[in-house]
Amino acid sequence: MPQSAPSASAPLRPTPTDNTALPKILAEFETLPAALDYAAKGDTGFNFYSARGDLATVLPFRELRARAVVHAVKLSAAGLKPGDRVALLAATTTGFLVHFFACQYAGIIPVPMPLPTAFGRREGYIAQIRNQVQSATPRMIFGPPDYLPLIQEAAAGCELAHIGTYDDVAAWTESNGKLHTPRANDLSYIQYSSGSTRFPTGVCVTHDSLLKNCSAMSYAVENFAGQRAVSWLPFFHDMGLVGFMLAVLTSQTSTDYLATEDFARRPLTWLRLMSENQGTMSFSPSFGYELCARRVQTMPEGSLGLDLSRWRIAGIGGEMIKPQVMKLFAETFKPYGMSEKAFNGSYGLAECVLGVSFSRPMVGMTLDHIAKDGLATHQATPVPNDGSPTGRTFVGCGEVIKGHKVEIRDVDDGRVLGQREIGRVYVAGPSVMTGYYNNPDATADAVNGGWLDTGDLGYWLGAELFIVGRAKDMMIVNGRNVWPQDIEWTVEHMDGMRSGDSAAIVLVDAQGVEKPTILVQCRPGNIEERGKLIADVKARVQEAVGIVCDVVLVAPRSLPKTTSGKLARGKAKTMFEVGEITALDG
């Protein structure tokens, strides 16, 4: 069992940052079990902290391996065979980690699934899990006990051998159970993308594609000796699962965890762990940095007593990078040793395991200010950054990781584009998925000739990749391409509005006319205040973006998010069209 409680004679201590006698290898293994076998020879591992930053559990890699092997035999003895799927509710706990790796040692395919905290509504969560279960067809489902009633409801009618807690397996017999040695091209796990809703798409990740991606990312961020990771990212999202569980384990890197729900309540605990444990690497979507910065704006300068001077990889990913948010964070935490050079722009997606491109360490963000009509002209034309509404600033996502290739192709004729030409982003390399699980049609749409169509729009500036948005989200208004993010960013910077408070979509009226529409989460209950909000949003958007939109007020917390915390714009549109989100009187 892991260490779980300090005593007077033996206080609980986190695993060390470095192994004293084990050379560091950056994920250059054939399979994930081989990577854990090697990491288990050292002293590094995983550490779990409470919302207040108290060390609660220590799980060295050697202990993780020992427990995973025992549970692998028990799962095998229970009748699970290599290739069977097992769904795991990906809580930030040792139970999830042990069972994820138990599956690896038994040849079973784990399917990480989200927790209810990632969804605004009970019904939405049950529908999400039901669709993923029907897609992945797991033999068993495991998770924390508090969530079992929801899982049982979601899996009703599905043929499952067992639905239970992670503790259940400990009592099972090992009789006749067997370990399984996987091959490099075998499936390691299935990752459901964060936007999967009605038609879930499970990304098939092989051992080889995983290890190639982990190795390339570790080299990109120079994860050599002396590095320590800190994370609050959920294990059911690729950035948390791969970036801060699999990639750090395969490079024998000690990592300190704060549960995602605890970060949401006490975001500054994240920074305290970075300070107290001398963390050097941590990633977050922009909203995580913004949440921390706004929490301390009213505090006296220097009152937190933090030391963030060792933070050298402050990664930004999971959504469009917002330069104004990063500037706010840097200014807020500069008194605590935070360097703006630590910001590390990146780009990735589950269909390529995780990482596609990374900025070089400790060079800071590359900013490019271009004309807002770039999508209409297919050109990223540079303009002065003088505050004019005709320009927009983008943050560079770095250079393509080793062993991989990226092409920017014309959205109409598919020709390969050059510098500052905006088009669709295609990726090729060993990390590109073999396909979506049990979904050949979706696979054929996404991968052709080894090239993955990411669905994203971007351009080159030198060797650096810039991402400007999702092609499928593009709004066409009077023949003009409009970024929905432009509209949403305009709304969220109005007084009283917050990040994620609006969704810019296109609705079709009874006459078949497409109408640009903004769904805006509204807190005022007064009819006059609501009317003023509608008028203000319309005026601000027309001034900043140059289009006239319908404004629909909806209830607070009604706009859905993906498991990574991003606005689920397409899902918001669907929910509004079917009446799951309704308009408030305004």
What is the mean pLDDT of the segment spanning 87-113? 97
- Helix%, strand%, coil% for the chain, nearest 5: 35, 25, 40
d(CA 389, CA 372): 8
Is 3 within the bounds of a domain? no
Are both 59 and 180 inside the same structural domain?
Answer: yes
- Residue 69 inside a domain? The answer is yes
In the predicted structure, residue 1 carries a pLDDT above the cut 60: no
Residue 325 lies in a domain: yes
Residue 55, pLDDT above cutoff 60: yes
Q: Do residue 66 and residue 175 come from a single domain?
A: yes
Same domain, 447 and 483: no
Query: Does residue 8 or residue 542 have the better pLDDT?
Result: 542
pLDDT recorded at residue 389: 73
User: Would you say residue 372 lies in a domain?
Assistant: yes
Counted domains in the chain: 3
Q: What is the mean pLDDT of residues 564-580?
A: 82
The enclosing domain of 410 has a CATH number of 3.40.50.12780
Q: Which of 427, 446, 471 is the last residue of a domain?
A: 471
In a domain, 230, yes or no: no
Whether 308 and 456 map to the same domain: the answer is: yes
Residue 311: what pLDDT? 98
User: Once rounded to an integer, what is the mean pLDDT over residues 467-495?
Assistant: 77
Rg (CA), the chain: 24
Give 351-397 pLDDT, tens digit per residue: 999 999 999 999 999 999 998 777 678 899 999 988 777 788 899 99
Are 157 and 298 members of one domain? no
Average of pLDDT values for 103-115?
96
Taking the model in full, what pTM does it have?
0.84
Boundaries of domain holding 560: 474-577
Q: Which among 208, 234, 249 is the end of a domain?
A: 208
Six-digit token string for 353: 């395991």
Residues 6+ apart with CB under 8 A from 552: 517, 518, 519, 520, 576, 583
197 plus 53 within the same structural domain? yes
CATH code for position 529:
3.30.300.30
pLDDT class of 133 with cuts at 50, 70, 90: very high
DSSP 205-247: EEHHHHHHHHHHHHHHTT--TT--EEE---TTSHIIIIIIIIH
Terminal CA-to-CA distance of the chain, rounded, Å?
57
* Cross-strand partners of 57: 48
B/e letters for 491-509, b = 16+ CB within 10 Å, e = fewer, are beebeebbbbbbbbbbeee
Digit-coded pLDDT (tens) for 154-189? 999 998 999 999 999 999 999 999 999 999 999 999
Q: Are 504 and 461 contained in the same domain?
A: no
**pLDDT on residue 279:** 98
Q: Which of 93-102, 311-320, 488-497 has the highest mean pLDDT?
A: 93-102
Position 83 pLDDT exceeds 60: yes
In a domain, 291, yes or no: yes
pLDDT at 546: 75
Q: Which residues pair with 416 in a beta bridge?
A: 409
Same domain, 57 and 204: yes
Average pLDDT of the residues in 545-550: 84
Q: For residue 518, what are the β-bridge partners?
A: 504, 551
Instruction: Work out the percent of the chain whose per-residue pLDDT is above 70.
Output: 93
User: What six digits make up the tokens of 325?
Assistant: 């948010």
| Whether 439 and 523 share a structural domain | no
Average pLDDT, the chain: 90
Q: Specify the pLDDT at position 164.
A: 96
User: Residue 414: inside a domain, yes or no?
Assistant: yes
Q: Are residues 293 and 393 in the same domain?
A: yes
Q: Are residues 437 and 535 in the same domain?
A: no
| Res 2 pLDDT > 60 | no
**114 has a pLDDT exceeding 60:** yes
Instruction: Fill in the amino acid letter for 537.
Output: V
Q: How many helices (H) and strands (E) does the chain have?
A: 17, 27
DSSP state of 302: T
Q: Is residue 253 pLDDT above 50, yes or no?
A: yes
Average pLDDT over residues 523-546: 87
Tell me which of 417, 436, 471 is where a domain ends.
Answer: 471
Whether residues 333 and 440 share a domain: the answer is yes
231, part of any domain? no
Instruction: Determine the Cα–Cα distance for residues 401 and 501; give it in Å rounded to an integer.
Output: 34
pLDDT at 62 over 90: yes
What is the distance between the alpha carbons of residues 389 and 393, in angstroms, rounded to a whole number? 11
Exposed/middle/buried for residue 527 (C-beta within 10 Å: 0-12, 13-18, 19+): exposed
So what's the pLDDT on residue 197? 45
296-335 residue pLDDT tens = 987 877 789 999 999 999 999 766 788 888 999 999 999 9
pLDDT-based confidence at residue 480 (cuts at 50, 70, 90): low
459-to-62, 143, 214, 252, 410 alpha-carbon distances in Å:
44, 42, 25, 35, 11
